[in-house]
Structure 1
Amino acid sequence: MREPVRIEGGATGAPSLEELLARVAQGDQSAFASVYDTVAGPVLGLVRSVLRDPAQSEEVAQEVLVEVWRLAAHFDPARGGATSWVMTLAHRRAVDRVRSAQAASDRDARAAQLDRTPAYDEVVEQVEARLEREQVRRCLGSLTELQRQSVTLAYYRGLTYREVAELLTQPLGTVKTRLRDGLIRLRDCLGVSA
């Protein structure tokens, strides 16, 4: 078993990663070069373990290191070590890439599914709707006058049975019976199964 690589400052007198990040936060490019040299390998290793794709892993590792440069001022040593902070950034970015790739794959699958559905034909739909309207008109014409008026007022104008009865000056029971009989005749005329 190999010894873990120590990436904190130590007895050599080199500045610790925390100190380097503080200098990076102030815009010190040479400090960032040291941070880069120190964490690039572990970051790439972590990202590769999540993504598995070497090319994507290199891209994400580069994004993480750019993020370290941009966010160095946000590092708070009181909340944890510099290595943990950098590796957390790396892990989050790698997981985001996996989720993004999965979402893209899901979108592609849904798009492919939609491509398999039959195309909507507007002309056919318009013709069918017109034919259905004509058939309903023809069937309405086969009703008695009171049945036709009752059905038209109740279903096309949205009136209640009581309102239809008042408008036609007919007893409520008569209107209900004519509506029921009219709907049965319409159903039979249109060929709708009960």
Structure 2
Amino acid sequence: MRQETVLADDTRLRDRLVFGDEDAFSELYERFSALVYTVAVRVTRDERAAEDVAQEVFLSVWQRPLAFDPAKGSLRGWLAMLAHRRAVDLVRREETHRRSTQDGKLSAEALSRGDPVGDQVEDADATRRLRLALGTLPEHLHTVISLAYLQGRTYREVAAELGLPEGTAKSRLREGLRRLTVALSGNHAHGPEAQ
């Protein structure tokens, strides 16, 4: 019965995300940010890289909530899997980049293995766009988004750290996320999802 309750809750949360419910996103983040960050840190062994992975995971879920299928398992398991995959991809990209930098070009070995060079460029571009969009936010939004999504803090921890009422921190997170989504969708017009 417990598993059925979890899956029903996961389905309701996913459905709210589909309709752009920012409270649902806050709930998702509150429930799973520590999990996603922890998985990413274990794989990357780098806090900054884990922050990037966590940010990409939550942005991906916000943009494409229907990618989660409750019939295939829990939201917790799916998010952990996403974090693991993205972290592994990041480690592989960095290793490929490190080797190619040492050689001065992409190694023949990487190309012969079929490493997705185009994917590496695309992911690096997405991270660059995300950082540029974050830089366009007003300071009060930039600060709360950075604390929450880059440093893995809950909205309650953000509120405490900045001396804000919890409701203010939560609304700033929503507004910052909304502005990021708008900025990224404008920058994404010619990207793969525009096709």
TM-score (norm 1): 0.49
Looking at secondary structure, tell me which structure has more helix per residue.
2
Structure scoring higher RCO (CA < 8 A, sep ≥ 6) equals 2
* Bigger CA radius of gyration: 1
